[in-house]
Amino acid sequence: MKRITASLLAAVAIALAPVAIPAAIAKDAAAVKVDQGQVLRSDAKAYLDNLKKTPRPAMSDAMIAQIRKIPPQMIEQMMGASEVPLGTLAVDRKLTMPGPGGTMDLRLFDSRADRGPGPVVVFYHGGGFVVGSIGTHAALAAEMSRQLDLPVVSVEYRLAPEHKWPAAPDDAEAAARWVAANGKALGREVNGLVLTGDSAGGTLTLLTALALRDKPAAAPVKLMIPLYPMTDASKPYPSMQAFSGDFGLPQADMDYYGKAFAADVNSPRHSSLLADLHGLPPTVLATAGFDPLRDGGRAFAAKLAQSGVPVSYYEAKGTIHGFATFRKALPSAQDDLNAILALSRAMLASK
């Protein structure tokens, strides 16, 4: 039983990073150590070498059904092998809200017990739209609260394969609207939103910003901070072909996530790069140098600039997808996160 549980937990650890992208003709990435002048960092190489030594089952509906049976506390403890502890907070409180598919769980993180009127951060966790939770990404949400000096509300949205597209973007949009209109429930006076998330959560960040641009919420979106999002599933990009092998995102698993989520890859409600980007809020968009999703992120940042949207683009050279929640396994990732959040503070201050 312990061996089976360990295998399942290993599968969860890998799944917490990726989002669904289309199958591409993947080449052997094991030999790709240098790309456009960048070298794989030593901590990233050590992390990837360790992954190769850890046998794990392929992702499947049956595997997900088994993962759902693992107590959330056990999965969160497993994250401690690669992510730093939660850290100090003044407020860490669970809430609920009515959602499109029923009651949704939220969690408020705040580095201050009390504060005046200001923006609230809405955070969406990653995990390929299949796994992940508020708990698995609690340390990242807490760090954002401390560094941005803002309250953060993390969102538990419906996951595939039980709940296919567009359940996740529907929940993400509903949560942002609820936060904007319910400052009293948070004990905060909300005068704006900051949307953010990693991987699949980065994708939800972009989709929610588009929805709130077209139909504004009770408070305006002042900034979005998508971390290594999937921006375009309608076609393969060179980085998908280069880094979908031995760089932490197995192609077979990504194919499964796409099948499980079952999104329309040609819809701007999934592939946000296909949308008109005019009028989106100022953006800090981050990618990783050895990330299959890197080139889609680059393309999105470029289109934002072409659309007249203020944008800061940060590419974490020499590291891999998921770095922001692997800060114990990848110590250099803390410097990347510090830089991303410093850009975000500057962008907010300039408004």
199 a catalytic residue:
yes
- Give the list of residues 6+ apart from residue 350 with CB closer than 8 angstroms, or none: 282, 310
Distance of alpha carbon 338 from alpha carbon 340, whole angstroms = 6
- Selected catalytic residue, list 35, 232, 291, 295: 291
Distance of alpha carbon 124 from alpha carbon 205, whole angstroms = 7
321 a catalytic residue:
yes
- Selected catalytic residue, list 82, 111, 199, 312: 199
CA quadruple 34, 38, 40, 44: dihedral, nearest 10: -150
Residue 59 DSSP one-character state: P
Distance of alpha carbon 97 from alpha carbon 76, whole angstroms = 23
307 a catalytic residue:
no
Could you tell me which of 138, 230, 216, 141 has the C-alpha nearest to residue 181? 216
Contact status, residue 160 vs residue 190, Cβ threshold 8 Å = no
- Sign of the C-alpha dihedral computed for residues 223, 229, 233 and 236 taken in this order: positive
**Alpha-carbon Rg of the chain, whole angstroms?**
19
336 three-class SS:
helix
Contact status, residue 226 vs residue 299, Cβ threshold 8 Å = no
Please report where in the chains the tokens 């850290």 appear, as a residue.
Answer: 87
Residues annotated catalytic, as ranges:
199, 291, 321
